[in-house]
Structure 1
Amino acid sequence: MNLAVVLVSPKTPGNIGSAARAMLNMDARDLRIVAPRCDYLDSSAVAMAVHAADLLRGARIYPTLREALADRDLSVGTSARLRADLPAPRHPAQVRPLVRAAAAPALVFGPEETGLVNSDLEQCQVTVRVPTGDYASLNLAQAVLLVCYEFLQAQDDVPDPTRKTATREEMEAMYGHLHDTMHLIGYTDAVRARHTLRLWRAMLDRSLMSSAESRLFRGFLRQVKWKVEDGARRGAEALPVGTERETAED
């Protein structure tokens, strides 16, 4: 399975090395690191990686999560708590069929101290939570090992035929287009825009759009913009002669 593991702003080299080792245990080999706050090739990282040192050295570094997910068609965030305006985390086993059906899934982990923030989770179609006891805080490598196990243990099963899902970059571009259209038609304002877009994201991400469907949706948004601008132009042309000049003089 072409599963990418994305570590967002990790702080400790040893945790990164341990996460790489956990990945190798589960046969996940695509490590991506977003804005690391340490030297991910520090000697302590290499020591903790053990036989996964080559996997660690081959990690790709990105400045933003959006860039790290650009070529992925499914992104799965991780969180131990409920978030306002965001879907509740699910058990990893419940998400496994989605991951297996994806061509290029990604598993996203947040910083050791805070986990993923809301703006990170907004870029994930689904969120998972590892069931634990009352003490829910897992070490980064433990979380990587457990969730990769859930997603990869069924890799020998015959996957169901599926269509190609849109990449995260295609979806993020579509959401940017939707945001602009909402403002254009007065559907929302600057105060409510983020909350409103979160609700739309949750609904549209559940649909697992194909690339063609995302283009179809953007074609609809382009038509909305054209119609609004055409209506404004026709309204201006319909004004009585001299109205615009008199208004300007006033």
Structure 2
Amino acid sequence: MNLAVVLVSPKTPGNIGAAARAMLNMGARELRLVAPRCDPLDSQAVAMAVHAADLLREARIYPTLREALADRDLTVGTSARVRADLPPPRHPAQVRGLVRAASAPALVFGPEETGLVNSDLEQCQFTVRVPTAAYASLNVAQAVLLVCYEFLQAQDETPAYERKTATREEMEALYGHLHATMELIGYTDAVRARHTLRLWRAMLDRALMSSAESRLFRGFLRQVAWKVADAARRGTVTGPETTE
């Protein structure tokens, strides 16, 4: 499986090295780092990686999470907390079939101190939580090991199905287009826009659109914009009666 493990803004070289070792244990080979706050080839990282030093040397570094996920067709974030306006985390086994069926899935982990923030989780179709006792905080490498085990090594009772979904870059472009259309027709305003778009993201991400379906949706949005512009030229725009 072409699973990419993405670490967002890791702080400690040893954690990066230990995460690489956990990946190697479970069969994941692609490490991506977003704005790391340390040298991923620091001697501590190499020492903790043990036989996974090659994963460190081959790791790709990106300035933003959006760029790190651009070519992925399924993205799974990790969180121990329920967030307002975002779907609750699932058990990793509940999304295992989707991950195994994806062509280019990604598994995203947040900084050591905070985990992923809401704006990071918005870019993930699903969020998973490793079941723990009352104390839910895991070291990054522990979390990588456990979730990679679920996705790559655990037995799957549900057969995976083949479905090529749109990349995250295609979906982010769709969401930007949707946001612009909402503002154009007065569906939402600056105060409510983020909350409204989160609800749309959650619904459309569950649909696991294909590239063709995302283009179809954007074609509809372009027609809406054309219709509004055409009505304005004819002097027939009166404005919406309600916003939502």
TMscore range, shorter length: over 0.9
* Pairing 1:162-241 to 2, within 5 Å after superposition: 162-235=162-235
Mapped contact 2:97–2:160 kept (Cα < 8 A) = no
Task: Please name the residue that 2:108 is paired with.
Answer: 108
**Number of the residue aligned with 1:70:** 70
1:101-125 residue CA offsets vs partner (Å, 9 max, x unmatched): 1110000000000000000000000
- Pair 1:129–1:156, CA change in 2 (3 A): closer
Give the CA deviation at 1:163. Answer: 2.6
> What is the TM-score when the length of structure 2 is the normalising length?
0.94
Name the aligned partner's letter for residue 128 of structure 2: V
Please list every run of 5 or more consecutive structure 1 residues that lacks an aligned counterpart in the other structure.
237-250
Once the two structures are TM-superposed, the CA of residue 20 in structure 1 deviates from its matched residue by 0.2
Given that 1:16 and 1:45 are in contact with CA atoms closer than 8 Å, whether structure 2 keeps it comes out as: yes
What is the rounded CA distance, in whole Å, between the counterparts of 1:102 and 1:70 in structure 2?
15
| Aligned twin of 2:34 | 34
- In 1, Cα distance between the equivalents of 2:48 and 2:163? 39
Task: Quote the Cα distance in structure 2 between the aligned partners of 1:50 and 1:139.
Answer: 18
In the alignment, which residue of structure 2 is the partner of 1:243?
none
Q: Once the two structures are aligned, what percentage of the paired residues are identical? A: 88
Alignment of 1:98-137 (within 5 A): 98-137=98-137
The count of residues paired between Structure 1 and Structure 2 equals: 236
Secondary structure of the 2:217 match is helix
Q: Which runs of 5+ in 2 are unaligned?
A: 237-244
- Structure 1 residues 81 and 216: CA distance shift in structure 2, 3 A: same
CA distance in 1, matches of 2:168, 2:20: 24
1:6 aligns with 2:6: yes
Q: Which has the larger radius of gyration?
A: 1
Q: What secondary structure is seen at the aligned counterpart in 1 of 2:107?
A: strand
Where 2:165 maps in the other structure, the secondary structure is: coil
Residue 101 of structure 1 contacts residue 159 of structure 1 at CA under 8 Å; is this kept in 2?
A: no
The Cα shift of 1:155 comes to 7.8
Query: 2:98–2:160: 8 Å Cα contact kept in structure 1?
Result: no
Describe the SS at the equivalent of 1:206.
helix
What RMSD, in angstroms, separates the aligned Cα atoms of the two structures? 1.4
Deviation at 1:160, TM superposition (A): 3.9
Q: Does the C-alpha gap of structure 1 residues 37 and 169 become closer, same or farther in structure 2, counting only changes over 3 Å? A: same
Q: Distance in 2 between matches of 1:174 and 1:117?
A: 22
Q: CA shift at 1:230, angstroms?
A: 0.2
User: 1:162 is paired with a residue of what secondary structure?
Assistant: coil
Q: 1:60–1:163: structure 2 CA closer, same or farther, 3 Å change rule? A: same
- Contact 1:100/1:159 (<8 A) preserved: no
Describe the shift of the 1:125–1:88 C-alpha distance in structure 2 as closer, same or farther (beyond 3 A).
same
Letter in 2 for 1:145: L
In structure 2, the residue matched to 1:248 is none
CA contact (8 A) 1:100 1:155 kept: no
- Structure 2 letter corresponding to 1:43: S
The structural deviation recorded for 1:153 is: 1.2
1:10–1:36 contact (8 Å) kept in structure 2: yes
